[in-house]
């Protein structure tokens, strides 16, 4: 038999079983892929239902609030609660449209809801309730329709349970809105009482169905959270309202009722969320199981083909020569690998750790940049160089990528050397897998990018400062200059203008000029501070006189804002400081307190003395500041966004300059504030013992 004939027979013997195996596994694989597609469709349907559920929940709240404000005959468009809910409904609708982007019918419904809310001019509470209830019913029907696409029985049961629960919640929402209107008006019509009774029956019947469809474990958790005095109170109010024979004089505060009912509905909402979470977890579990199934199929396909291939190789002659060749190639590869390793070590910062993150190798570059010797590193956790400021999310993401996904991780890491110096590296962390697929070690290859990070930070800081300065100055300088030019042109153009009008215009020109001068002075002060050229002219003076001057300069602003001022504690107090600069600080803080005060309130300025400091405090009852706002108000060019429409905008330098002046004196300005209640700014100036000892 010719060698060529033998090769053909061997080829035939190899190909036929391989084709049979491939056909078998292809059939199984196609079935598994169909099952995967079904589970993915199920998960998508659940996510769509969840998105619609969010829209329903916030629309239920919006319905109750709008109906309540219409019943009170209030302008609901300015209410903060309703504004907040409006944003949440809008966000939920946007999210639902994104998730349901392939469902044209649902997109049309969601779009119609958006248009109805945008163009809503309804002034009748009954119409509001009707419009919202119709849209909510339509959304619930969409969830019912969506559930028909779910082939998986367990997940279909989850959605059915949600439909019962959501229908019960909607009935409670109708009750909440109806009673809210009734309690506001302190009277209800007969048809409203009938609606309450029918809604209560709907609620109980659907809750009964819900309890019959969910698992015992879920029901136990639900009843633990739902049964309690708060829920009993809600339904006691409902039953008492229905039982009220005259349907009036309820004596119940509508706002309290709305909050009470909302808490009960929130419990139902949390149960809805738990249902969806369980459904998605179930779908994910089945997809994960299917993934393992596909992996097994792929593995066995590969394994079987590999066995056949090995069998053929065993039969082939010259296996020894082939093995020798492979051995030679292997040795050559080892030599190349060693050379590659040496090249990497000379070019990069390299370390290795075991699967638990313990360092097993560190090259010279790693030791040099970290400041540790190799002996100090080997056997230690790799977080020995972790910088405490690094966001924990970065390491969580890194470990997820290399440990769970078993893929390389790329990123920039902030590190801390042995000498507590900060340095940055651009890192690639590679998981090294053994023959069994398990991780046996990690290799990190890094480059030093510290200089790049510093340059980037400096460039960004400089760019931001420049942009802030030009943006602020272009606006602040233009405004008073336009006023000066405009009013002067009017005066020059009209020779027959009455003297009192001319005087009024000149006063405006004068005011704008002073404002412009104040801006220029702020810029000059800022320039002095930045160049360390601001000097103090300290002397001893009576504090009360300086305070009176500052109050006098803010008197017109107090009259304009209808704000009164109370002063206390300054009598006979002497202080050693730069009087002019300290007066500038007090004027600026007092001006801010007046500008941001509510009308017909009181601003207080008072003096206190502690062991080492004079303390001048200015307190208002105005808008107040959040902790986030307090952390930025002393930065140059900083203005609180929420307050920009409340007061005249400035350069954003006033508080920065004031803080710097206080610090030049060795003191500080501290702030205590509560949103909606007001703020207190306290100027702390150190007591100079040699000259202030008698100022008690």
Higher pLDDT: 158 or 461? It is 158
Residues 475, 370, single domain; the answer is no
Residue 653: the pLDDT is 75
Residue 221: the pLDDT is 82
Mean of pLDDT values over 351-371: 92
On whether residue 262 sits in a domain, the answer given is yes
User: How far is 587 from 554, CA to CA, in rounded Å?
Assistant: 7
Burial call 223-237: b when 16+ CB within 10 Å, e when fewer? eeebeeeebeebbeb
105: confidence class by pLDDT, cuts 50, 70, 90: confident
Give me the CATH number covering residue 525: 1.10.287.130
Sheet hosting strand 359-362, strand order edge to edge: 359-362, 349-353, 439-448, 422-433, 409-416
Tokens of 582: 């300290």
Could you give the percent of the chain with pLDDT greater than 90?
20
pLDDT tens digits, 559-583: 888 999 999 999 999 999 999 889 9
440 and 470 inside one domain: no
Q: Mind listing the pLDDT tens digit for each residue in 603-624?
A: 999 999 988 899 999 999 988 8
Encoded tokens for 449: 């990018």
Q: How far apart are CA 211 and CA 222, in angstroms?
A: 9
Domain limit, last residue, from 477, 499, 530:
530
What are 239-251's pLDDT values in tens digits?
888 888 778 888 8
C-alpha span between 71 and 180 (Å, rounded): 9
Question: Can you give the pLDDT at residue 41?
Answer: 75
Same domain, 67 and 196: yes
Q: Which of 286-300, 371-385, 485-499, 506-520 has the highest mean pLDDT?
A: 371-385
CA distance 123 to 135: 18
Give the pLDDT confidence of 656-689 residue by residue, as tens digits. Answer: 888 889 998 999 999 999 988 899 999 999 998 6
What is the overall mean pLDDT for the chain? 80
- Taken in order 181, 183, 185, 190, the sign of the CA dihedral is positive
pLDDT at 645: 45
Q: Say yes or no: 444 and 576 in one domain.
A: no
Range name among 89-98, 266-275, 591-600 with the lowest pLDDT average: 266-275
pLDDT of residue 633: 85
Same domain? For 590 and 443 the reply is no
Q: Convert the pLDDT of each residue in 388-418 to its tens digit.
A: 888 888 888 999 899 889 899 998 898 999 8
Please give the residue that has the higher pLDDT: either 344 or 662: 662
**Separation of alpha carbons 617 and 603, rounded Å:** 10
Looking at the fold, whether 58 and 143 belong to one and the same domain comes out as yes
* pLDDT number for residue 123: 72
Q: Averaged over 525-541, what is the pLDDT?
A: 72
What b/e readout covers 102-131, taking b as 16+ CB neighbours within 10 angstroms?
ebeebeebbeebeeebeeeebeebeebbeb
Q: What is the reported pTM?
A: 0.39
Overall average pLDDT of the 123-152 stretch: 77
Range of the domain at 636: 539-692
Would residue 357 be called left, alpha or beta, if left means φ above 0 and alpha means ψ between -120 and 50 degrees?
left
Cα angle for residues 185, 187, 190 (degrees, 5° grid): 135
Q: Tell whether 432 is covered by a domain.
A: yes
Partners of residue 673 on adjacent β-strands: 679
Instruction: Kindly indicate the confidence band of residue 647, based on its pLDDT and cuts at 50, 70 and 90.
Output: very low
Give pLDDT, residue 473: 57
Residue 385 and residue 497 share a domain? no
Reported confidence tier of residue 513, pLDDT bands at 50, 70, 90: low
What percent of the chain has a predicted confidence (pLDDT) above 70?
Answer: 80
Query: Nearest CA to 178 among 130, 121, 116?
Result: 130
Ranking 45-54, 150-159, 211-220, 398-407 by mean pLDDT, the lowest is: 150-159
Rounded (5°) CA angle 195-196-197: 90
The reply to whether 330 falls in a domain is no
Whether 4 is in a domain gets the answer no
3-state DSSP call for residue 153? helix
At residue 565, the pLDDT reads 93
Q: How many CB atoms are located within 10 Å of the residue 523 CB?
A: 18
571 and 611 share one domain: yes
Same domain, 91 and 38: yes
Tokens of 568: 């206390």
Task: Indicate the pLDDT class of residue 149, thresholds 50, 70 and 90.
Answer: low
Whether 201 shows a pLDDT value over 90: the answer reads yes
At 576 the pLDDT is: 93
Q: 3-class SS at 283?
A: helix
For residues 598 and 317, the model is more confident at 598
Q: Which is nearest to 162 in space by CA: 20, 323, 277, 272?
A: 272
- DSSP readout, 102-119? T-HHHHHHHHHHHHHHHT
* pLDDT class of 547 with cuts at 50, 70, 90: very high
pLDDT of residue 39: 72
Instruction: Verify that 443 and 461 share a domain, yes or no.
Output: no
Give yes or no: residues 76 and 208 share one domain: yes
Q: Per mean pLDDT, which of 40-44, 123-127, 390-394 is the most reliable?
A: 390-394
> Domain check: are 612 and 488 in the same one?
no
Strand order in 678-686's β-sheet? 564-568, 602-609, 613-619, 678-686, 668-674
Q: What integer pLDDT is reported at residue 476 of this predicted model?
A: 54
* Dihedral sign computed on CA atoms, order 91, 95, 96, 101: positive
CA 314 – CA 321 distance, rounded (Å): 13
Question: 319 falls in which pLDDT band (50, 70, 90)?
Answer: very low
Predicted pLDDT at 682: 95
544: three-class secondary structure by DSSP: helix
Mean pLDDT of 425-439: 90
Q: Residue 646 — pLDDT band, cuts 50, 70, 90? A: very low
Residue 311 located in a structural domain? no
Last residue within a domain, chosen from 530, 552, 584: 530
Residue 317 belongs to a domain: no
Look at the chain and report how many structural domains it folds into. 4
User: Where is mean pLDDT largest: 10-19, 74-83, 584-593?
Assistant: 584-593
Reported as a single tens digit per residue, the pLDDT across 261-276 is 888 888 888 888 888 7
What count of other Cβ atoms lies within 10 Å of the Cβ of residue 150?
A: 24
**What are the CA-CA distances from residue 12 to residues 6, 17, 23, 304 (Å)?**
10, 9, 16, 17
What pLDDT is recorded for position 52? 83
Residue 367's CATH number: 3.30.450.20
pLDDT of 91 > 50? The answer is yes
Provide the pLDDT for residue 372.
Answer: 94
Got the DSSP string for 658-682?
Answer: HHHHHHHTT-EEEEEEETTTEEEEE
Contact 154, 38 (CB under 8 A): no
pLDDT of 573: 93
| In a domain? residue 131 | yes
3-71 and 104-118 helices, crossing angle to 10°: 20
- Alpha helix locations (H) across 316-353? 319-347
CATH number, residue 627: 3.30.565.10
Domain assignment of residue 5, yes or no: no
């Amino acid at each position: 038999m010719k060698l060529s004939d033998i090769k053909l027979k061997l080829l035939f013997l190899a190909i036929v079983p391989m084709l049979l195996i491939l056909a078998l596994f292809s059939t199984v694989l196609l079935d598994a892929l169909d099952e995967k597609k079904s589970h993915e469709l199920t998960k998508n349907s659940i996510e769509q239902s969840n998105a619609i559920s969010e829209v329903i929940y916030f629309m239920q709240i919006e319905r109750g609030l709008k109906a309540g404000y219409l019943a009170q005959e209030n302008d609901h468009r300015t209410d903060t609660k309703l504004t907040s809910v409006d944003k949440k409904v809008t966000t939920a609708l946007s999210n639902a449209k994104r998730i349901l982007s392939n469902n044209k019918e649902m997109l049309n419904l969601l779009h119609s809801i958006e248009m109805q809310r945008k163009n809503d001019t309804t002034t009748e509470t009954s119409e509001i309730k009707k419009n919202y209830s119709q849209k909510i019913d339509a959304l619930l029907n969409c969830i019912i329709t969506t559930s028909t696409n779910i082939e998986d029985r367990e997940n279909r049961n989850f959605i059915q349970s949600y439909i019962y629960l959501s229908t019960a919640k909607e009935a409670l929402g109708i009750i909440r809105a109806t009673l809210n209107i009734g309690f506001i008006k302190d009277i209800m019509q007969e048809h409203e009482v009938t609606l309450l009774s029918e809604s209560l029956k709907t609620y109980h019947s659907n809750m009964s169905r819900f309890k019959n469809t969910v698992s015992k474990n879920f029901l136990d958790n639900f009843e633990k959270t739902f049964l309690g005095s708060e829920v009993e109170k809600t339904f006691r109010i409902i039953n008492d309202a229905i039982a009220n024979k005259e349907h009036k004089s309820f004596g119940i505060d509508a706002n309290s009722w709305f909050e009470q009912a909302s808490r009960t509905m929130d419990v139902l909402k949390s149960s809805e969320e738990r249902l969806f979470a369980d459904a998605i977890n179930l779908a994910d579990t089945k997809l994960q199981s299917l993934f393992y199934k596909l992996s097994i199929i792929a593995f066995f396909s590969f394994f079987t083909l590999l066995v056949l291939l090995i069998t053929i190789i065993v039969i082939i002659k010259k296996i020894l020569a082939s093995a020798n060749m492979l051995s030679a190639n292997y040795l050559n590869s080892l030599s190349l690998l060693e050379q590659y390793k040496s090249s990497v070590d000379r070019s990069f910062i390299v370390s290795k750790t075991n699967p638990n993150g313990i360092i097993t190798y560190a090259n010279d570059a790693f030791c040099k940049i970290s400041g540790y010797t190799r002996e100090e590193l080997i056997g230690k956790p790799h977080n020995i160089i972790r910088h405490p400021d690094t966001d924990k999310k970065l390491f969580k993401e890194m470990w997820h990528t290399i440990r769970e996904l078993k893929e390389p991780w790329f990123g920039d890491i902030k590190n801390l050397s042995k000498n507590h110096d900060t340095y940055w590296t651009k890192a690639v962390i590679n998981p090294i897998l053994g023959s069994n697929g398990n991780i046996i070690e990690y290799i990190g290859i890094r480059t030093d990018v510290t200089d790049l990070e510093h340059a980037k930070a400096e460039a960004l800081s400089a760019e931001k400062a420049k942009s802030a300065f030009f943006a602020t100055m272009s606006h602040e300088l233009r405004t008073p200059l336009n006023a000066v030019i405009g009013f002067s042109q009017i005066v020059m153009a009209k020779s027959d203008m009455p003297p009192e009008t001319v005087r009024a215009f000149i006063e405006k020109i004068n005011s704008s000029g002073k404002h412009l001068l104040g801006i220029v002075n702020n810029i000059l002060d800022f320039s002095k501070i930045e160049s360390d050229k601001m000097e103090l002219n300290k002397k001893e003076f009576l504090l009360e006189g300086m305070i009176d001057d500052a109050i006098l300069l803010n008197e017109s602003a107090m009259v304009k804002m209808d704000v009164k001022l109370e002063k206390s504690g300054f009598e006979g107090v002497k202080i050693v400081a730069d009087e002019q600069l300290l007066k500038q600080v007090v004027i600026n803080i007092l001006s801010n307190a007046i500008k941001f005060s509510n009308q017909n309130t009181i601003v207080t300025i008072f003096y206190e003395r502690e062991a080492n400091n004079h303390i001048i405090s200015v307190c208002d009852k105005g808008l107040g500041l959040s902790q986030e706002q307090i952390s930025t108000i002393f930065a140059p060019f900083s203005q609180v966004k929420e307050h920009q429409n409340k007061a005249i905008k400035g350069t954003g330098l006033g508080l920065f300059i004031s803080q710097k002046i206080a610090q030049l004196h060795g003191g500080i300005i501290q702030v205590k504030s509560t949103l909606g209640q007001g703020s207190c700014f306290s100027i702390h100036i150190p007591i100079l013992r040699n000259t202030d000892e008698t100022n008690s």
